Homo-oligomer: A and B are copies of this chain.
Amino acid sequence: MDEVSGFCIKQRGGYGGGSGGTGTKCGRWNPTTEQVKVLTDLFRTGLRTPSTDQIQKISSQLSFYGKIESKNVFYWFQNHKARERQKRRRVLVDEPNDFHHQDKLSSTKYLAELNHISEPERVLETLQLFPLNSFREPVESEKRRLFANDYYKENSYNIGTQMDHPTLDLRLSFL
């Protein structure tokens, strides 16, 4: 990630062949740094969803640096793409406010605040159903539970405002 050490020297690269059963638990692919570098370069170049052919070729090339299979390349791109998207989505809605240093409330008071407006909403998760047929004619590819509207922005919760009723219920009411 960003602020982490750059000195992670894993013992990767150990794809030794044979060597008597390889006591090492070669459960999953452990890419070498060269392999990672090449893959990252490819990604940076713009490659996001390589075709089967491309995967084959990449795998062949990378096999020079160590054991690798096509599915590893496939998964690598899948994961890399998904995680970059995820990270972007999070950071987008994350940092804006750093109001976290004015006056520290006690834990009980905070919990009380979380209970504000104990709506009988009872959000049990997995029910993100809400009509979105208002704009845009529903394209066939509009299915998917894309509840995560990318333009999800500020959520005003009145952090430091009126609050009483210091119960320790904490029913996730703010969710």
Residues of A within 8 A of B (CB): 1-10, 15, 17-18, 26-28, 34, 36-38, 40-42, 45, 47, 50-61, 63-71, 74, 80, 87, 89-91, 93-95, 97-101, 104-105, 107, 110-111, 114, 124-126, 128, 144-148, 150-155, 157-160, 163, 166, 168, 170-172, 174-175
A89 touching B27 by the CB < 8 A rule? no
A157 touching B125 by the CB < 8 A rule? no
Give the complex CA separation of A36 and B59 in angstroms: 32
The contact sample of 29 A-B pairs, CB cut-off 8 A, is A1-B3, A1-B36, A2-B2, A3-B6, A3-B10, A4-B5, A34-B110, A37-B168, A38-B111, A38-B114, A45-B171, A54-B175, A58-B175, A60-B97, A60-B155, A60-B159, A60-B160, A61-B163, A63-B152, A64-B157, A65-B104, A65-B166, A67-B154, A68-B100, A69-B90, A69-B152, A70-B147, A71-B87, A71-B147
Taking CB atoms, residues of chain B closer than 8 Å to A58 are 175
Taking CB atoms, residues of chain B closer than 8 Å to A54 are 125, 175
Give the complex CA separation of A98 and B66 in angstroms: 9
Q: Secondary structure at chain A's binding surface: helix, strand, loop or mixed? A: loop
A71 touching B57 by the CB < 8 A rule? no
Taking CB atoms, residues of chain B closer than 8 Å to A52 are 89-90, 146, 148
